[in-house]
Structure formats: structure tokens, C-alpha cells
Chains A and B, each alone.
Chain A
């Protein structure tokens, strides 16, 4: 299931839903991304996240499908927030249920890494000095490429 929303989410509720994925599930891997104070500039006070409604959900659905072809994926959950977010707020959640840990880790990392370079979201950093659009990082592109994306 995929949600793009301005509201916060409760990771424990999401985890409980992932646990309820059948007796074949032997591993759950989750990732949560937060707004941190040091981005492209120091003293970041928050973020503004823009997205392309419709395309965003389609791209993420494609990534979950691809992950399901490459690894054992029993259930996957992606939540991405948009709009204005303050320091330390949750931005993104990825959770994957698999039979075994290797598949759960790999599918979770793949979805997260590929989302960063292919899902149409854009971050603007807000600070005392003003605001600026974040540039795509070479390290993120390299991580995507490592998965063949």
C-alpha cells in the first residue's frame, strides 16, 4: 500500500499491520527517514516537499512490483509526506515483509534507494538564511545505479 500525505504517521501502527501478513512472514525490515538539521546548508529549520500527484504513486507502485519480482516480498508499505515539515519530523516510511531477512533488507533498501532517484518529490530546505531547492546528490544516484536503476 502506498500513501502520499501531509499528515504524520505512526510507525508502530504500520509495523503492527506488517506483522499481520501471514504465517509465511519470517522477517520485517523497516526504514524511517527524518528531517535533520544539516542538509546542503547548516541550521536547517525545516523542509517543504513538493510532488507530482498521480505520477508519484505510479512510480512507487512500479518499484514495489520490481522488488516483488527480485525478492520474496509478502507485503510492502510506503508512506511519503509532502508539504511543510519541521526538524526531526518523519518524512518517509518503507516496510517490507519477507520469509527471510536477506530479502527483507534488500527489498527495503532497494525501494528506498530507487524512490530517491525516480519518484517525483522535491525538497526545499528552509533556514534562517532563506530557502533553497535541494540538489540531487551523486551518492544517491550511485546507490540507485548499484540496484540497476
Chain B
């Protein structure tokens, strides 16, 4: 079996407020991006904002995804505030 972990990345305001750029987490079976957010929110403190706080955008393997999208081992999942470029 290959590595049973996934990478979680944070950007901009979330990266700063969580004090975290990247995490490596064990991949669970039948997990969605929303499940991952809920699990991270349980860490409390600034992490609580990941659920019910300001909107969080999700990308899986660098493509925008919905909370119901499945995440699996080897995936790169990113959480970030609504984008403000241009």
C-alpha cells in the first residue's frame, strides 16, 4: 500500500489565523472535504471558524470542490477564504 495520508493546505487569512500552512493527516475511509473541515473545527480556538464561520472555499488536487466531494489518500486538499485577485 502507498502512503495513507493526505495533505491539507491553508491560504491567506486562514493560513495566518490558524498559524498553519500545511498539515499531513491520516486518510479516513469514505471521507468528504466537509468531514475533514468538521474534524479540523473540533480542534477549537481559531480552528472553530472552519465550521459556521466566514465562508471557506475548498479545492481538491487544485480544482474547486464542494463539501460533499470525497477526499482520499494522496489528495491535496486546500481550504481558503473567498478569492480576491484581479
Chain A residues packing against B (C-beta within 8 Å): 33, 49-52, 54-55, 58-59, 80, 91-92, 112, 115-124, 133-136, 140
CB-CB contacts below 8 Å: B10-33 with A = 11-13, 16
CB-CB < 8 A to B16: which residues of A? 133
How many residues of chain B get a CB closer than 8 Å to chain A's CBs?
A: 17
What CA separation (Å) do A52 and B84 show in the bound complex?
A: 12
* Contacting pair B59 A52 (CB below 8 A): yes
- Known pairs A50-B12, A122-B12, A133-B13; A55 contacts B83 (CB<8 A): no
* Contacting pair A120 B80 (CB below 8 A): yes
- Known pairs A50-B11, A52-B11, A55-B78; A123 contacts B85 (CB<8 A): yes
- Known pairs A122-B11, A122-B12, A122-B13; A54 contacts B62 (CB<8 A): yes
Q: Which residue of chain A has the shortest Cβ distance to B64 in the bound complex?
A: A118
